[in-house]
Amino acid sequence: MTESDSTDSSTGTRGKMQRWINQLIQLQDLIFARDQQQVSAAGARLSSLETSIQTLEKELPIEVQTHFVRLHNKGGLAIVPIANGVCSACGMAIPVSQVHAVHAADKLYHCPSCARFLFYQGTAPRRLSKQRLRSEPAQVGLARFSSPQLMIPHLAGAEMEEVIAELSGRMESEGFVDNAALLTEEALKREAITSTGVDQGLAFPHVRGVEGGGLTLALGVSRKGVRFGDNKTLSRLIFFMVIPTAASAFYLRLLSGLTKSFREEESRDALFKAETPEDLWKALIKTTRATIS
């Protein structure tokens, strides 16, 4: 085999592996979207999501498909990025040689600790760690994931893209993430899978895999309402979240709590009445006290 043939073979192998990696990531995103639809009681889109999931699964080699399903059934996450040299799911430090190998993508690699598929994540928004002072009291409920600075009682945007950019910008300006433009881009990619708008005028746009800190929530109120995808109801309460890989399962519990909290019109009205970020924060904390611990 000539050097050229060897290079072509290596390039072909990498191309095949990268396709499988992309399919695994897409498959996991679809499963996560389906689980979100189930939690938020928006079942109309479940059938199409199930069809897409089954189609993608069948396109994978049987041994890859079997391992993926086994991992998903065991812990929800089957493929995760390497973040700062560690598996972003279990925190296991990955040897530098394996990090380089995962980046090269000449085969599928697993975390030596949790056995999840690993992939190398290039440019992605980062969550900036917020250190709590020792003198500060321990936070409970939603206060663990948000703050008054992330409340926008009067969103200016009239379109989905505009309000997501507005919420992303607030996260960046308050030092919670490092790249609002990239965060917005990733959130819109997620919306392209299936809309996060649900009934009762709620929407839950989000970005997963934002490593570097904990789960974070920003809340914006649109007085006129914003169209999310093909959802018939305009969304007026937009809960925007960035989710580190390790918090993916917890996010579904948080989503369930938020959905329960604002199922009643009285609870939603409490947020609509808020005129300042501080008022919105107080109303949010009060309304979710019984559903989010």
pLDDT digits (tens, 9 = 90+) for 221-236: 999 999 998 888 899 9
As a whole number, mean pLDDT of residues 11-28 equals 82
pLDDT tens for 57-102 read 999 999 999 999 999 988 789 999 998 899 999 999 999 999 999 9
Q: Which domains does the chain have, with CATH numbers?
A: 3-120 (1.10.287.1490), 141-288 (3.40.930.10)
State how far the Cα of 155 lies from the Cα of 221, in Å rounded to an integer: 6
pTM comes to 0.87
Q: Which two tokens stand for residue 221?
A: 């109120």
Q: What is the pLDDT, as a whole number, of residue 136?
A: 53
* 252 touches 77 (CB < 8 A): no
Q: Which two tokens stand for residue 184?
A: 């917005």
